[in-house]
Amino acid sequence: MGELDPTFIQELEHRPKPVVIEAQGIPEIDISAFVTSSPTNPNAQGIRDLVDQIRDACKDWGFFQVINHGVPIETREKVFSASKRFFDQSVEEKRKVKRDEVNPLGYYDTEHTKNVRDWKEVFDFVVDVPTMIPASHESDNDETTELHNQWPHHPSDLRDACEEYVKDLQKLSYKLLELISLSLNLPANRLKPFFKDPTTFVRLNHYPPCLAPDLALGVGRHKDAGALTILAQDDVGGLEVKRKTDGEWIFVKPTPNAFIVNVGDIIQVWSNDAYESVEHRVRLNSTRERFSIPFFMNPAHYTVVEPLAELTNKQNPAKYKGYNWGKFFATRKYSNFKKLEVENIQIYHFKKPEEQRIDDVVSRVANVVI
Ligand SMILES: O=C(O)CCC(=O)C(=O)O
Ligand SMILES: [Fe+2]
């Protein structure tokens, strides 16, 4: 990536701090009781304890790590190994599968988060082929389009490794979705129908060493727009999560073979703010490259995302107007390409007016306090 181009430089207030604060408290949850028992009795004591841990983690952090999750270590190692061999190639080779305005899948090395360039390169693929999405972000255009993956010729085992990984991750993602449903006092299968025609995708991330890790970020601060993210990271580490209690950036220490799970904006809206999609970012390393693999679990494009009726009532009315997931996502993608000078579309824009006013007051107060 060469010398540090000014497009990578973060505003002073968003630069990583020289002192790394390690996570004290992002819960590590052993989900073996739920993975192995099938069919599951949600009232069994072991499952109830597990569900309580998930609820506390979602409320306190929006993030947790899972261990004993049932994904074989070999499946994970194969995809990390193939990913490294893919990114080790020349830029010319990688650009043979470059994403563009027609196909948003494949290789990309100029992604921006909040209009600042990320110090990373990525390779994206969808899990359901073809994946249907809206042809345009414009609300008056109802056409859809099919997404197909672009697999590189080299390394030749990348595709198999990714497809095998996805099979296991899909199983895990449904288990986690059930646990989250139970933790919201919903039936285990309440959320599953939203994922009938999923727009789930996987990203292979490569963060090369950066000579100015104090100025740039691997990924700038952001919230994940989808339902649930399940992230595998290597032993280098770099993910930082914004602690809800004081807004401090907390480094998530890598736990070998664990997955980091976070609730995205869609679960925030479904839960009517009972759970919050928390900001996170990636700090860089001056000597070591880093690899990570997020699995972004997303519903069908035609899903209207709105607070679930069971989770709202007179005392706790819906805080959001419904929005179309496919259009939301397409608007995000479109503005990424255009690099708009305005704020990107956020779920905040769908808050009902009275809720917006409350949030404005809260954030003004919070700004004064911090
Ligand atoms: O690489 C990581 O640790 C996180 C990446 C991430 O947050 C994202 O791609 O949305
Ligand atoms: Fe993220």
- Is the CB–ligand 1 distance for residue 292 below 6 Å? yes
Position in ligand 1 atom list of the atom nearest CA 122: 9
- CA dihedral (216, 217, 218, 220) positive or negative: negative
Confidence of residue 40 (pLDDT cuts 50, 70, 90): low
Which residue, among 296, 185, 255, has the nearest Cα to 29 in the 3D structure? 255
What integer pLDDT is reported at residue 39 of this predicted model? 58
Least confident of 43-47, 81-85, 183-187, 358-362: 358-362
What integer pLDDT is reported at residue 333 of this predicted model? 76
* Residue to mutate, 124, 201, 234, 282, ligand 1, most ligand atoms under 8 Å from C-beta: 282
Percent of the chain at pLDDT exceeding 70: 91
- φ and ψ at residue 351, rounded to 5 degrees: -65, 145
pLDDT (mean) for 326-345: 73
What integer pLDDT is reported at residue 362 of this predicted model? 63
What integer pLDDT is reported at residue 21 of this predicted model? 72
Which parts of 88-212 fold into alpha helices (H)? 91-94, 158-183
- Is the CB–ligand 1 distance for residue 203 below 6 Å? yes
* Residue to mutate, 242, 292, 329, ligand 1, most ligand atoms under 8 Å from C-beta: 292
Strand duo 201-207 + 121-126: pairing: antiparallel
DSSP at 287: S
Tell me which ligand sits closest to the C-alpha of residue 282.
1
pLDDT (mean) for 161-170: 98
pLDDT (mean) for 345-353: 90
What is the CA(223)–ligand 2 centre distance, in A? 6
What is the CA(370)–ligand 1 centre distance, in A? 26
- Is the CB–ligand 1 distance for residue 237 below 6 Å? no
The yes-or-no verdict on residue 54 having pLDDT over 90 is yes
| 225 vs 219: CA distance, rounded Å | 15
Per-residue model confidence as pLDDT tens digits over 100-119: 888 999 999 989 999 899 99
First-residue to last-residue Cα distance in the chain: 36
What is the CA(203)–ligand 1 centre distance, in A? 9
- Is the CB–ligand 1 distance for residue 127 below 6 Å? no
Least confident of 215-219, 276-280, 330-334, 347-351: 330-334
pLDDT (mean) for 290-302: 98
Residue 58 or residue 330, greater confidence: 58
Per-residue model confidence as pLDDT tens digits over 199-212: 999 999 999 999 98
The yes-or-no verdict on residue 364 having pLDDT over 90 is no
Instruction: Measure Cα distances from 90 to 59, 94, 305 in Å.
Output: 44, 6, 41
What integer pLDDT is reported at residue 101 of this predicted model? 80
Mean pLDDT (the chain) is: 91
DSSP at 345: P
| 303 vs 325: CA distance, rounded Å | 6
What integer pLDDT is reported at residue 182 of this predicted model? 96
What integer pLDDT is reported at residue 41 of this predicted model? 80
- Is the CB–ligand 1 distance for residue 78 below 6 Å? no
Per-residue model confidence as pLDDT tens digits over 11-39: 999 999 877 777 566 899 999 999 876 55
* Residue to mutate, 119, 204, 230, 280, ligand 1, most ligand atoms under 8 Å from C-beta: 280
Q: What is the DSSP string of 78-122?
A: HHHHHHHHHHTS-HHHHGGGB--SS---EEES--EETTEE-S-EE
Rg (CA), the chain: 20
* Residue to mutate, 231, 234, 291, ligand 1, most ligand atoms under 8 Å from C-beta: 231
| Residue 90 tokens, joined | 């020349």
What integer pLDDT is reported at residue 23 of this predicted model? 59
The yes-or-no verdict on residue 97 having pLDDT over 50 is yes
Instruction: Measure Cα distances from 218 to 124, 137, 153 in Å.
Output: 16, 27, 27
Which residue, among 252, 217, 256, 250, has the nearest Cα to 235 in the 3D structure? 256
What is the CA(74)–ligand 1 centre distance, in A? 22
- Is the CB–ligand 1 distance for residue 284 below 6 Å? no
Least confident of 18-27, 158-167, 301-310: 18-27
DSSP at 178: H
The yes-or-no verdict on residue 370 having pLDDT over 50 is no
Per-residue model confidence as pLDDT tens digits over 246-271: 999 999 999 999 999 999 999 999 99
What is the CA(264)–ligand 2 centre distance, in A? 9
Let me know: does 216 contact 9? Beta carbons within 8 Å.
Answer: yes
What integer pLDDT is reported at residue 231 of this predicted model? 98
What is the CA(314)–ligand 2 centre distance, in A? 34
Confidence of residue 45 (pLDDT cuts 50, 70, 90): confident
pLDDT (mean) for 304-323: 97
- Is the CB–ligand 1 distance for residue 219 below 6 Å? yes
Kindly list the protein residues that place their beta carbon closer than 5 angstroms to ligand 2, a single-atom ion.
224
* Length of the chain measured in residues: 370
